[in-house]
Copies of this chain bind each other. A is one copy, B any other.
Amino acid sequence: MSEKVIVKREVLLDQCTKIFVAAGMRQDEAAVVADNLVAADQTGMDSHGVMRVPAYTKRLRDGGTLPHSEIEVVRETPTTAVIDGHNGMGQVVSKFAMEKCIKKAKKCGVAFVAVRGSNHFGMASYFTRMALEHNMIGMCSTSPAAHLLAPTGGVEPILDNNPFSFAIPAGKEYPVVLDMATSVVSRGKLASAAKRGDKIPTTWAMTIDGEPTDDPKLGFDGILLPVGGYKGYGLTVISGVMAAMLSNAALMSRDICDFYVDTDKEQNIGHLFGCIDIQVFCDVDDFKHRMDEMIDEIHNCRKAPGVDRILLPGERSGRTADKNAVEGIPLNETVFKDLNDVAVSYGLQPIQQG
Chain A interface residues toward B at CB < 8 A: 75, 77-80, 82, 108-112, 114, 137, 150-156, 158-159, 166, 168, 176, 178, 180, 184, 210, 227-228, 231-235, 237-238, 241-242, 245-248, 251-254, 276, 278, 280-282, 286-287, 290-291, 293-294, 297-298, 301-304, 307, 309-313
Contact = CB atoms under 8 A, between A and B. Distances in A.
A237 B312 contact: yes
B153 A241 contact: no
B247 A294 contact: no
Given A152-B310, A303-B154, A245 B287 contact: yes
Contacts of A156: 301-302
B238 A168 contact: yes
B301 A151 contact: yes
7 contacts: A80-B110, A82-B282, A153-B303, A153-B304, A153-B309, A246-B287, A251-B290
Contacts of A291: 241, 245
A237 B109 CA distance: 23
Contacts of A152: 310-311
A302 B184 CA distance: 21
B114 A281 contact: yes
B109 A246 contact: no
Contacts of A109: 77-80, 112
A178 B184 CA distance: 19
A69 B82 CA distance: 42
Nearest to A286: B248
Nearest to A287: B245
Given A80-B109, A110-B112, A151 B310 contact: yes
A227 B226 CA distance: 11
Chain A to chain B: the 6 pairs with minimum beta-carbon distance, closest first: A227-B228, A154-B301, A156-B302, A234-B313, A228-B228, A153-B307
Contact of A298 (B77, B151, B246, B297): B151
Contacts of A158: 297-298, 301
Contacts of A246: 276, 278, 281-282, 287
Nearest to A281: B246
Nearest to A299: B151
Contacts of A228: 184, 227-228, 231-232
Contacts of A153: 301, 303-304, 307, 309-311
